[in-house]
Amino acid sequence: MKHTKINDLLGGKGLLHEVKAKGWVKTFRNNQFIALNDGSTINNIQCVVDLDKFPAELLKKVHTGAAISVRGTLVESQGAGQNVEIQVEHLKVYGEANPEEYPIQPKKHSLEFLRENAHLRIRTNMFGAIMRVRSVLSYAVHKYFQDNGFFYFNAPIITGSDAEGAGEMFRVTNLDLNNLPRTEEGKIDFKEDFFGKTTNLTVSGQLEAETYAMALGSVYTFGPTFRAENSNTSRHLAEFWMIEPEVAFNNLDDNMDLAEDFIKYVINYVLDKCADDLAFLDKRLQDEEKTKPQAERSEMTLLEKLRFVVDNNFKRVSYTEAVDILRNSKPNKNKKFKYIIDGWGADLQSEHERYLVEKHFKCPVILFDYPAEIKAFYMRMNEDGKTVRAMDILFPGIGEIVGGSQREERYDVLLEKIEKMGIDKEELWWYLDTRKFGTAPHSGFGLGFERLVLFATGMTNIRDVIPFPRTPQNAEF
Ligand code: ATP
Ligand code: MG
Ligand code: MG
Ligand code: MG
């Protein structure tokens, strides 16, 4: 007989009938109650074993982590804590998990320990919940765009362009590093490198997405991006997933509207579809908060934070206004941070962003119209000749979650900017073509998917919301 997902059994599917369930043992209490989980839900099903019916040899194999199958009648449960349970008549053990060796025991493990066991941490309740939320969120991303007339476009992973011009690219080469081809002068001969081209792993699919938006109208990419971030922060990965919509004939205001509407939609979607997992993560957070001194505790629970984002407008503030606010702010008493900014034109540091979001406005903030000097070459120059139509969305507890802009659509202005910034225009000939032929205003943004998952799950380290985090010195498996 076919087995049924535990999520369905808990919903009462097959009640008073014979059912089969397969999964991994969470606990085996009093040699009588197996808490079984198959990953379909955070909740376990209780399987009641009659000691006399099964050989002791078999029951000895039922440990935390063992893979088993049970068959029996699904009945209403008399015990507290569950509505239904399985009265087990047949029990099969597929694979044991020796308790002396199996690292994931039913106790609280540190996040560091679990990161070292990234292949097994998914078996904990917490990582099960996080990764189910991540999966539902990625579905919501596609659903939002597909329902709103966007086409999904796959940007190349190997590319010759550095969209950000930030020099954070991983080089892709097919050269044999132990036997590099040399020129007559003894220099490395790059002619054979990636079939004669210098190529990198993509840092962003934006430039390519722009070319597609200029024909399909509204497009989005959602794929892996790579940055050689040689820093160990809790917000940066060397490999992360980015959501990048691009829309023809949209200006910066439309872009802000799109980003805000999109974020609200996907957060609302997980609130609706992941209630059990979010309740579990919320409880975990609240338990953690209780260990902190009163003054440091968060004012809102995770669910309240998520609902707040869905129900309230993001605050839209220009860079110039933000600098004024920061100038008038009091420096942090403990002197660890200074909120005061150097002056107009300086880039905001993360402590500035956190001050604006967490202390001053106490809500998500969209900062726009940044100084041209600190932003990438492709952003639309404003009439003031000093600022560009850029926007960053800042979230409490996270900082920057979105970076976007209206793009410079005027061929001459873009070319001048490229030359001024010392970028090789030959390499961007294809990009410049979009401005040469049928150019039009357009805008888009990049949202780091892991930062969204961080926010939705209440986790604080980006390494804990991606299955296998890639960070400096961390790419073993
Ligand atoms: P940050 O200031 O945090 O380094 P950025 O300004 O360099 O980010 P953008 O080039 O604007 O990043 O990329 C768009 C979005 O991609 C960011 O808003 C962020 O959500 C996400 N992102 C950027 N770099 C990383 C990274 N190394 N790991 C995870 N997400 C990232
Ligand atoms: Mg960066
Ligand atoms: Mg930034
Ligand atoms: Mg940015």
CB 397 within 8 A of CB 453: no
The predicted structure's pLDDT at residue 477: 78
In this prediction the ipTM stands at 0.99
Indicate the top mutation candidate among 400, 405, 455 to test ligand 1's pocket, ranked by most ligand atoms within 8 A of CB.
Answer: 400
Q: Which numbered ligand comes closest to the C-alpha of 448?
A: 1
- Owner of token pair 């909740």: 43
Residue carrying the six token digits 């503030």: 317
pLDDT tens for the chain, residues 1 to 477:
999 999 999 999 999 999 999 999 999 999 899 999 999 999 999 999 998 999 999 999 999 999 999 999 999 998 888 899 999 999 999 999 999 999 999 889 999 999 999 999 999 999 999 999 999 999 999 999 999 999 999 999 999 876 666 678 898 888 888 888 888 898 887 776 766 677 899 999 999 999 999 999 999 999 999 999 888 899 999 999 999 999 999 999 999 999 999 999 999 999 999 999 999 999 999 999 999 998 888 889 999 999 999 999 999 999 999 999 998 887 666 555 566 777 899 999 888 999 999 999 999 999 999 999 999 999 999 999 999 999 999 999 999 999 999 999 999 999 999 999 999 899 899 999 999 999 999 999 999 999 999 999 999 999 999 999 998 877 777
Q: What residue's CA is closest to ligand 1, atom 12?
A: 403
Ligand 4 centroid–CA 86 distance in Å is 52
The residue whose CA has the least distance to atom 25 of ligand 1 is: 236
Residue 164 CA: nearest ligand 1 atom is 10
Q: Between 275-290 and 252-273, two packed helices, what is the crossing angle to 10 degrees?
A: 90
For 401, the enclosing helix (H) or strand (E) is strand 399-406
Which of 240, 466, 470 has most ligand 1 atoms within 8 Å of its beta carbon, as the pocket-test mutant? 240
* Alpha-carbon span 423 to 432, nearest angstrom: 13
Atom number in ligand 1 closest to CA 402: 18
**Domains in the chain, please, with CATH?**
6-95 (2.40.50.140), 125-167+203-314+363-464 (3.30.930.10)
Q: Decide if 30 contacts 88 (C-beta within 8 A).
A: no
User: Cα Rg for the chain, rounded, in angstroms?
Assistant: 27
Q: Whose CA is nearest to atom 28 of ligand 1?
A: 236
For residues 67 and 24, the answer to whether their CB atoms sit within 8 Å is yes
Place of tokens 């008399």: 78
Q: Is pTM, for the whole model, over 0.90?
A: yes
What ligand is nearest to the CA atom of residue 347?
3
* DSSP SS3 for 80: coil
Q: Where are the alpha helices (DSSP H) in 394-457?
A: 411-420, 429-436, 449-457
Quote the tokens at residue 422: 């010392």
| pLDDT recorded at residue 350 | 87
The predicted pLDDT at position 443 comes to 98
What is the Å distance from ligand 4's center to 168 Cα?
Answer: 13
Element (H, E) at 27: strand 18-29
- Which of 451, 462, 464, 465 has the most ligand 1 atoms within 8 A of CB, as the residue to mutate? 451
Question: Closest ligand 1 atom to the C-alpha of 445?
Answer: 14
- DSSP-derived pairing of the beta strands 442-448 and 399-406: antiparallel
Say how many Å lie between the CA of residue 347 and the centre of ligand 2.
12
Tell me the H-state helices in 335-392.
350-354
Q: Give the ligand at the shortest distance from the Cα of 244.
A: 1
Binding pocket residue ranges, ligand 1, CB within 6 Å? 164, 227, 229, 235-237, 240, 242, 400-403, 446-448, 450-451
Question: Dihedral, CA atoms, 167, 170, 175, 179, nearest 10 degrees?
Answer: 90
Distance 173 CA to ligand 1 centre (A): 25
Side by side, which strands form the sheet with 218-226?
151-152, 218-226, 239-248, 442-448, 399-406, 387-395, 365-371, 315-318
Neighbours of 400 (CB within 10 A): 18
Q: What is the DSSP letter of 360?
A: I
CB half-sphere exposure, 23, CA atoms < 13 A: 27
- Spatial contact of 227 and 238, defined as CB atoms under 8 Å apart: yes
| Distance between Cα 403 and ligand 4 center (Å) | 4
Instruction: Say how many Å lie between the CA of residue 351 and the centre of ligand 2.
Output: 15
| Rounded Cα–Cα distance for residues 25 and 44 (Å) | 9
Nearest CA to ligand 1 atom 22: 448
Note the maximum CA span of the chain. 86
Spacing of C-alpha 265 from chain mean position: 16
Cα distances (Å, whole numbers) of residue 76 to 15, 33, 37, 141, 280: 8, 15, 18, 38, 24
Nearest atom, ligand 1, residue 393 CA:
18
Rounded Cα distance between 446 and 244, Å, is: 5
Of the ligands numbered here, which is closest to the C-alpha atom of 228? 1
Distance in Å, CA 361 to ligand 3 centroid: 19
pLDDT for 40 equals 98
Q: By alpha-carbon position, which residue is closest to atom 30 of ligand 1?
A: 448
- Separation of alpha carbons 395 and 144, rounded Å: 21
Q: Ligand 1 pocket check: which of 168, 207, 230, 235 to mutate, most ligand atoms within 8 Å of Cβ?
A: 235
* Strand segments (E) across 65-111: 67-76, 84-95
**Residue 166: predicted pLDDT:** 66
Residue 254 is given by DSSP the state H
